[in-house]
Structures are given as C-alpha cells and as structure tokens.
Amino acid sequence: MTYSNDASDPYKTELFFRYTDSEVAEIQVLMQRWDQATYSTLPASIVKHAKKHGFSEEYLRYLRKADNFNKKAARKKFLPDGAIRWNKGSEFLIERNGKIVTYGENG
C-alpha cells in the first residue's frame, strides 16, 4: 500500500490513503481533469466534493464516475462564469474552462 504523509497538504494524504501504487497513479491521472477553483489545493477540492456527494473514502470511485460521465444525450445548460452543467438521469457534471468543478447525483 502506498501512503505518503504530506504534512503540507493533509487532503493529498487523505486522497491517496488506502490505495495501491497503481490506484494512486490512476488518481493522479484522473485528478488532472479537475479544477482546483477556490480551494487551497486540487486534492482539497476533490476530497471536499467527494464527501459532499456521499463518496467519503471512495475517492477513486468518485473520480472514475466523474470521468465516465457520458455527455452524449446529456442535457446541457449554461451557468454563470462560463460554466456548463451536464445532466443525465440523476447524474450531473459541472465544468468550467474545460475542467471538472464537481460531479454528483440527485437521485
């Protein structure tokens, strides 16, 4: 198991905790699609959004679901600040400047 305690960013530690080296590598790839936005770090943004949407300690699953969101046949709506909300069934994805701001489910 890979676990590197990063005192400078406890959210990074939280994000990678419990995952194998290959899973951490996958997380690092998937998180590049995300927007740090106003959070102190990119891992902070991902951990906070995952917890909000019911994916506590399931960060890789959360990142995979966001990455697998299929925009085909999804409803597209424009939001302030150039953001876009994609909605399909109970799932939604919000992007801004080509980066993921958040992903969740309303069902």
Task: Select the residue interacting with other proteins from 21, 32, 52, 97 (CB under 8 A).
Answer: 52
Taking CB under 8 A as the rule, does residue 107 contact other proteins? yes
Element (H, E) at 98: none
Residues pairing with 92 in the sheet:
87, 104
Taking CB under 8 A as the rule, does residue 21 contact other proteins? no
Backbone torsions φ then ψ of 79, nearest 5 degrees: -115, 170
Element (H, E) at 70: none
Nearer residue to other proteins within complex by CB, 53 or 64: 53
Q: Which two tokens stand for residue 49?
A: 């959004």
Nearer residue to other proteins within complex by CB, 30 or 91: 91
Residues in the chain, how many?
107
- Give the closest residue to 95 by CA, choosing from 104, 105, 87, 85: 85
Query: How many residues in the shown chain lie near other proteins by CB under 8 A?
Result: 36
Contact residues toward other proteins (CB under 8 A) are 3, 5, 10-11, 13-14, 17, 37-40, 44-45, 47-49, 51-52, 54, 75, 77, 79-81, 83, 85, 87, 90, 92, 94, 96, 101-102, 104, 106-107
